Amino acid sequence: MATARRTDPEEIAVTITLTQQLGVSEYPRALDALHHSIRPDGPVPAPTGHVAASVAALPSAEPTPLRRFGLAVTPPPGGADRPPPPVPDDVAERFATGLLDLHRAVLRRAFDQALEHLGERSSEGASLLARQLVQAQLADIAMALREDEAMPPERRCGDGAARWRTHQRLVRIGRTILYLFGAAGFLLDGPAGELYLAEVTGNLYLHPGAPRPGRSTEDHHA
């Protein structure tokens, strides 16, 4: 069983900075900052060789439906018929763990927005926050977020399978949060866009069906 790598103080500081940045900017910009913090000389490719970053960081990328949310994706260099360039294991693992941290930051922000949204609305003269059903939904979400934070690191991000399970869990939490907004969650300034980008980026970088992150040809013959 893989042993979870301990997070040093410098990486904790980077995560805190990225989390704070999500409060004032969009997911693509925070993703760019994560790329730079892990590999300053260029973005980290996914196991398939694709790269996801902001439109500003990848101006030559072909337009996709993600572009309206500020995210661009480039194909593997050389096309799908050539193996993707190798990425060192530690770089791939740190980036994958950072993606999960960003996803959590998006969820916390969306949860705070949901509380504000519900607090501003009333039904039959009472705040929606006073409704028992709404309170139960909020409690379930808060508990799910706490359970994720309390989970031992090796179960959250100890290996690729653990990271994928964590990603799926965070996606489910995000979709539950969206229910609290109703149609308002899908407005231009609603949380659906950032939650969608966190889900899509995680699918690209964390899916276990892709080649193992960071595993080069030389690794197989070592």
For domain 9-220, give the fold.
Answer: Butyryl-CoA Dehydrogenase, subunit A; domain 3 (1.20.140)
pLDDT, residue 82, reads: 76
Structure tokens at 10: 């410098």
- For the stretch 127-166, pLDDT in tens is 888 888 999 999 999 999 999 999 998 898 999 999 999 9
**Contacting residues for 27 by C-beta, under 8 A, at least 6 apart:** 69, 70, 71, 102, 106, 193, 194, 197, 198, 201
User: pLDDT by residue (tens digit) across 26-38?
Assistant: 899 999 999 999 9
Q: Where are the domains of the chain?
A: 9-220
> Under a CB-based contact definition with an 8 Å cutoff, are residues 202 and 165 in contact?
no
- In the predicted structure, residue 8 carries a pLDDT above the cut 60: no
Write the burial class of residue 177 (CB in 10 Å: 0-12 exposed, 13-18 middle, 19+ buried): buried
